Amino acid sequence: MNFKTNLTITRPDTSSRKNVLLHIFRSNRNKTSGVFASFLLVQLILLCSSPLALSDEYQDWQSFVIIPDKATVRFTDVHHLETMDKALKADFIDKTVLRSFGFLSGERADAVKERLKAKILGILHRVQLILGMHLKRVKLDLFLFETRQDFDRFYLTTFGFPSPAHSIYKQERNAIYLTLSELTTGVLAHEMGHFVICTYCLVPPPANAQEIMCQYLDQHIRERTFQGLIISQ
């Protein structure tokens, strides 16, 4: 078998590469040197943690792109977007900010998505403004779950231990996981606060310090004192 041909294609099939490496590792672990076995094991670990491998878990999710290649909402039921739209309040965001993000008041088929896009970007811009942290880059996925049970089941299966809260930001995945039954503007602002802090700071502050700042966001995000536009699409 020509392993070089199978392992160096432009867009590799993650599962195929994984199976090939597993086959080599299992069939040769008693025949080859420890160095070669260790090399194969390292390759397996890198493959399983690569973006290509992580993309496999998105196959059952629908997506709504907020900013191409930068911010995406992922959901399993289109009604989740309507629920999220109802949960997020935009009354505190200056109308000029909403219009700059494409806020549409007309009755169009994509009106919910346009409103949701404006709200999410409006909250993200407000979080940066309050924290005084202007992001030069944004890479974020928002995962929506209808109930806490749905989220807990996903979290346990994906990460191997129970979720500590109904909504959470995972820095290593640039992802915010949200339970819609518990979602409020403050909850999203809180988790976005963790995202902004961890993205802005080369060495993020300790978890306790982050939590204090994010609780402040949760409580003050809807105050009209904070205005201004500091994030562009």
For tokens 């924290």, the residue is 131
Count CA atoms within 13 Å of residue 46 on its CB side.
7
The correct answer on CATH 3.40.470.10 for the domain covering 60-220 is no
Please tell me the predicted confidence (pLDDT) of residue 42: 53
DSSP 51: H
Ordered by start, the domain boundaries in the chain are 3-56, 60-220
Provide the residue-wise pLDDT of the chain in tens; the chain has 233 residues.
Answer: 443 333 333 333 444 444 555 555 555 555 545 555 565 555 545 445 444 444 455 667 999 999 898 999 999 999 999 999 999 987 777 666 656 655 544 445 478 888 899 889 989 988 998 999 999 889 999 999 999 999 999 999 999 999 999 999 999 999 999 999 999 999 999 999 999 999 999 999 999 999 999 999 988 887 755 544 433 33
pLDDT tens string 120-164: 998 998 899 899 999 988 999 999 999 999 999 999 999 999 999
Classify each residue of 11-39 as buried b or exposed e, where b means 16 or more C-beta atoms within 10 Å of its C-beta. Answer: ebebeebbebbeebbeeeeeeeeeeebee
Structure tokens at 167: 């909504």
How many whole angstroms from its chain centre is CA 47?
A: 20
> Could you give phi then psi for residue 224, rounded to 5 degrees?
-75, -5
Length of the chain: 233
For tokens 């209808």, the residue is 146
DSSP 167: S
Q: What percent of the chain has pLDDT over 90?
A: 49
CB atoms within 10 A of CB 54: 14
Dihedral of alpha carbons 51, 199, 206, 166, sign: negative
> pTM for the whole thing?
0.70
